[in-house]
Amino acid sequence: MEQTEEHADTHTDEQAQTADRNDRKERIGVVESAKMDKSITVSVRRQMKHPMYGKYLERSSTFMTHDEEEEANEGDTVRIMETRPISKNKRWRLVEIIERAK
């Protein structure tokens, strides 16, 4: 009887770890620079509404992203995912290239 209780506890821990791992931020952006070794700079644009005037403004954030195979080029639209810190500035990794630059 004690063995089944222990087994049930470990199963619950595994489910909790899986839930944490699946809860990662994803963003879609455009590659600004691909001149570094295994790194790219991705610009993510978003729209926000001005609090007083109501006009929609475009804001952007840039992310240093890890590109292991060096497959992304400047101007490509890519999907990036949050990950553990890889270096001083890199906390995102390349998931896929959605559209190549024309």
Q: What global pTM score does this model have?
A: 0.75
Convert the pLDDT of each residue in 26-54 to its tens digit: 999 999 999 999 999 999 999 999 999 99
Per the CB < 8 A criterion, the answer to whether 25 and 82 are in contact is yes
DSSP at 28: E
What's the pLDDT at 81? Answer: 97
Domain at 25-99, CATH from 3.60.21.10, 3.40.50.620, 2.40.50.140, 3.30.70.240? 2.40.50.140
Convert the pLDDT of each residue in 48-69 to its tens digit: 999 999 999 999 999 999 999 9
Length of the chain, please? Answer: 102
* H helices present in the chain, as ranges: 2-22
DSSP at 8: H
Q: Which residue has the tokens 């995912």?
A: 81
How far apart are the C-alpha atoms of 33 and 101, rounded to whole Å? 13
